[in-house]
Amino acid sequence: MYYNALMEEFFHSLGIPLVGFADLSHINEDARRGFRYGISIALPHYKDTIKKILEGSSLEAFNAVNARNKEIKEIAAKGEEFIVAKGFRAFSQAYIKRDEKYETPLPHKTVATAAGMGFIGKSSALITKKYGPAVRLSSILTDMPFETAQPIIKSHCGNCRRCVDACPAGALLDHNWSIASARTDIIDIGSCNGEISRRGKVYNTTGGAICGVCIAACRYSQNYLTEIR
């Protein structure tokens, strides 16, 4: 028996529009904590947040992004509890911290491409069809069985380079991703991090800072902004 419908209904009821299911058995066992399946969830940013990022009003954007981040973390934790209550094991990755190399054992984006949720763009972000990269991500590892998606293994950016040109730090390297790509092929995280810290000082944010211009400028985010519902 597969539990896709049950979990989709659960996450939709909590306001998560995008849910994907991955078979992670090809990934290092320690990284996936011995679990075979991964659930990827994505919560879109409000359209207003994307506009604010582009207008440069970073304090407001920072607060809006943080609120969305808190929301998806809480939802992922509820997902874990729900699965455990159904008699399976589960682990929410929402509160996993990055290490000193700015890495986590199993990034949300890896679970997301394996779950068919989107591709990695030249911005190094996950690009979903409907909301582009303008989503907050989380993931849950579990032994609850699912029918799993076909993994996405290459970029659909083509010749587009909007995010590359929009990045104020010149951090993006105009690379078309495939699963063989290394992060260093795509982004210079030192430059990106420098820009984020600079903005934190300019806008006097506490407890972190954001840039996100590459996310807001993406043509897929722009399509989401202009779509008529």
Residues at the interface with ligand SF4 (CB under 6 A): 121-123, 127, 157, 160-163, 167-169, 171-172, 187, 192, 195, 211-214, 218-220
Instruction: Report if residue 36 touches ligand B12, rule: CB under 6 A.
Output: no
Which one of residues 18, 215, 216, 217 is an interface residue with ligand B12 (CB under 6 A)?
A: 215
Determine the interface stretch with ligand B12 among 6-14, 30-38, 76-84, 186-194 (rule: CB under 6 A).
Answer: 186-194
Contact pick of 14, 77, 84, 96 for ligand B12 (by CB under 6 A): 96
Q: Which residue reads 């290092």 in tokens?
A: 28
Tell me how far, at minimum, the Cβ of 100 lies from ligand SF4, in Å. 19
Question: Which span sits near ligand B12 by CB under 6 A: 4-12, 33-41, 44-52, 192-200?
Answer: 192-200
Q: Is 119 left (phi over 0), alpha (psi -120 to 50) or beta?
A: beta
Footprint (CB under 6 A) of ligand B12, residues 123-152: 123-126, 133, 135-138
User: Is residue 98 a contact point for ligand B12 (CB under 6 A)?
Assistant: yes
The token duo for 88 is 């399976």
Candidates 50, 120, 157, 169: give the one binding ligand B12 (CB under 6 A). Answer: 120
Does 102 interact with ligand B12 (rule: CB under 6 A)?
yes
Interface residue with ligand B12, options 49, 92, 113, 148 (CB under 6 A): 113
- Cβ at position 15, least distance to ligand SF4 in Å: 25
User: Is 24 one of the binding residues for ligand B12 (CB under 6 A)?
Assistant: no
Task: State how far the Cα of 222 lies from the Cα of 218, in Å rounded to an integer.
Answer: 6
Candidate residues 7, 75, 210, 218; the one interacting with ligand B12 per rule CB under 6 A: 210
